[in-house]
Structure 1
Amino acid sequence: MTTTVRVPGTTASFTSHPWVRFAVRRLARLVGSVLILISAAFLMIHLIPGDPVRSALGPAATKSLIDARRESLGLDDPLWQQYLHFLQHLFTGDLGTSITTGLPVSDVIRDRLPATVQLAVAAFLVAVLIALPVGLAMGVLTRAGRRPRTELSFTSTTVILAAIPEFLLAVGLVYFFAVKLHWLPVAGRGNMSSYVLPVISLAVGPAAVLARICRVELLAVLQTDYLRTARAKRLPAAAIYLRHALPNAVTATITLGGLLLGGMVAGTVLVENVFGWPGLGSTIVSSILAKDYPLVQGVVLVYGVGVLLVNLVVDVTLALLDPRSTIRES
């Protein structure tokens, strides 16, 4: 006779674990946000006035040709039926066919996405590598009200840099370094020199914001009791700032950095058009002008899902750095 031994509360204890509830909440939020994004992308494009087929085929196209193309694309169906077809094709990996080029939208995105990702990631890394040391250095130099002139100069400079729009900075950089000095290429994506101006255009504003946040967080951490205790024990400065202060000061910086990375991805739309960068940014502008519904929807979804995934990675990273955050949310 076989006796089955049950551990009381095993299932309940598993589902009540803070990490399990944290993962369920984040995944549910991600799924809900993706569904809202899909619906918004579909409705936004279809509510724009104008005939995409006529725009794609040109004014010389006959009415019979336009009607045949609309029927083949399903644009004559009711809106709700188009939405259901859109969802069905989307969940099978079919993003549709571009009206203007006749190519699958997934192929266009696959060809253009790497250029946008490389540009956004490079700009993010440059922003972080500049912001963290500058913010920490300013926090150390201006702690406890020291060097007020340095603090004023730092604050004023970062405010001005953060307020400059990416496209305006991009135009200025092109004019000065490419047109006047001929140091760097005006447009295109080629060798490493072609990355310099677009990356700077995207990185300057976020770097200024991150540096300010990093400095403020470090000043707050330096006022805590455990830092005062560390200084009272006469620990080396490197141990105080790098081992004790830095991990606690970068938490908010990581959160804001993740949000800024999503903003950088969106900012590539304008910067890519200034520099003729062959990415999704220039693709979405041309597809909007041509009223290419499937291509616009596909690119918008890629941008939106990318931002949502970045936010998810930030949440998980913060939970790993501070596991108490998962418990506080439970």
Structure 2
Amino acid sequence: MALPLLVLISMGLFVLAQASPFDPLVGYLGDRYPLTTPEQRQSMREVLRLDQPWWAGWLAWASDLVSGDLGHSRSYAMPVSAVLAERLPATLLLSAAGLAVALLLSLLGALIAALNPGSVLDRATHALATFLQAVPPFVLALAAVTVGPSPSAGSRRAGPPPWSAPPPPSPRCII
């Protein structure tokens, strides 16, 4: 059920982008837009597939996505798949550490509650578990960051700094 929904959402984004009264090249080029000639803008529209109907652009984007071509990151001047691959180990480490901490704390709380049924400890453990389930994950993450360093602290960033020269336009950068 999720895949058809993602397809419909992505198609809707292409339709909305095509129907927008704003020129996507203004956002893409930023301050460099006034410095480009109409011929350069038309060439970029062709490269970015902005001159095609929304469905043709969506089909090209979807076929690139299915083939594993995620495009080129303008921020890091390298392929998006390389940026993701470089960040995957830190993401997995952080996820595993979070899962281990959550498992340890939940088992400890369950043990305390099970050994003291109906006591203040049981009720406090239940109240704490209910509270932690109600708090949004980003609030817990912010609290965890302020308490101590994460397992991925000190990891280096992928690619060159974001302020480096932008790469040539890629058809998948616009979405």
TM-score by length of 2: 0.66
Bigger Rg, which one: 1
Describe the SS at the equivalent of 1:53: helix
Task: Report the CA distance shift for 1:106/1:162 in structure 2 as closer, same or farther (over 3 A).
Answer: same
Counterpart position of 2:16: 47
- Is 2:52 the partner of 1:77? yes
Describe the SS at the equivalent of 2:73: coil
Displacement of 1:278 in angstroms is 5.2
Q: Deviations over 1:145-182 (max 9, x none)?
A: x42x333222222233333334334445555x4xxxxx
- Is 2:76 the partner of 1:107? no
Displacement of 1:35 in angstroms is 4.5
Look up the equivalent residue of 1:53 and give its one-letter code.
L
Counterpart position of 2:113: 138
Gapped runs of 5+ residues in structure 1? Answer: 1-31, 178-183, 192-276, 280-291, 298-330
CA distance in 2, matches of 1:45, 1:54: 17
Describe the SS at the equivalent of 1:74: coil
Which aligned runs of 4 or more in structure 1 are off by greater than 6 angstroms?
none
Counterpart position of 1:122: 97
Q: Deviations over 1:204-239 (max 9, x none)?
A: xxxxxxxxxxxxxxxxxxxxxxxxxxxxxxxxxxxx
Task: Report the CA distance shift for 1:107/1:60 in structure 2 as closer, same or farther (over 3 A).
Answer: same
Q: What count of residue pairs does the alignment treat as equivalent?
A: 157
Look up the equivalent residue of 2:104 and give its one-letter code.
L
CA distance in 1, matches of 2:73, 2:30: 15
The percent identity for this pair of structures is 29
Counterpart position of 2:69: 94
Look up the equivalent residue of 1:189 and give its one-letter code.
A
Indicate if the aligned counterparts of 1:97 and 1:294 stay in contact, CA closer than 8 A. Answer: yes
- Is 2:12 the partner of 1:37? no
CA distance in 2, matches of 1:189, 1:296: 32
Displacement of 1:128 in angstroms is 1.3
CA distance in 2, matches of 1:161, 1:138: 16
Counterpart position of 2:31: 59
Q: If each structure's helix is expressed as a fraction of its own residues, which one has the higher value?
A: 1
Look up the equivalent residue of 1:43 and give its one-letter code.
G
Task: Report the CA distance shift for 1:173/1:88 in structure 2 as closer, same or farther (over 3 A).
Answer: closer
Indicate if the aligned counterparts of 1:45 and 1:293 stay in contact, CA closer than 8 A. Answer: no
Look up the equivalent residue of 2:3 and give its one-letter code.
V
CA distance in 2, matches of 1:66, 1:189: 42
Indicate if the aligned counterparts of 2:47 and 2:171 stay in contact, CA closer than 8 A. Answer: no
CA distance in 2, matches of 1:38, 1:115: 29
Displacement of 1:118 in angstroms is 2.0
Describe the SS at the equivalent of 2:78: coil
Displacement of 1:89 in angstroms is 1.6
TM-score by length of 1: 0.39
Describe the SS at the equivalent of 2:32: coil
- Is 2:154 the partner of 1:190? yes
Could you say which structure has the greater relative contact order, defined with CA pairs below 8 angstroms and 6 or more residues apart? 2
CA distance in 2, matches of 1:168, 1:67: 46
Q: Deviations over 1:279-305 (max 9, x none)?
A: 9xxxxxxxxxxxx994697xxxxxxxx
Gapped runs of 5+ residues in structure 2? Answer: 159-169
Look up the equivalent residue of 2:69 and give its one-letter code.
D
Indicate if the aligned counterparts of 2:61 and 2:172 stay in contact, CA closer than 8 A. Answer: no
CA distance in 2, matches of 1:278, 1:123: 21
Indicate if the aligned counterparts of 2:73 and 2:80 stay in contact, CA closer than 8 A. Answer: yes
Indicate if the aligned counterparts of 1:97 and 1:103 stay in contact, CA closer than 8 A. Answer: yes
CA distance in 2, matches of 1:94, 1:154: 48
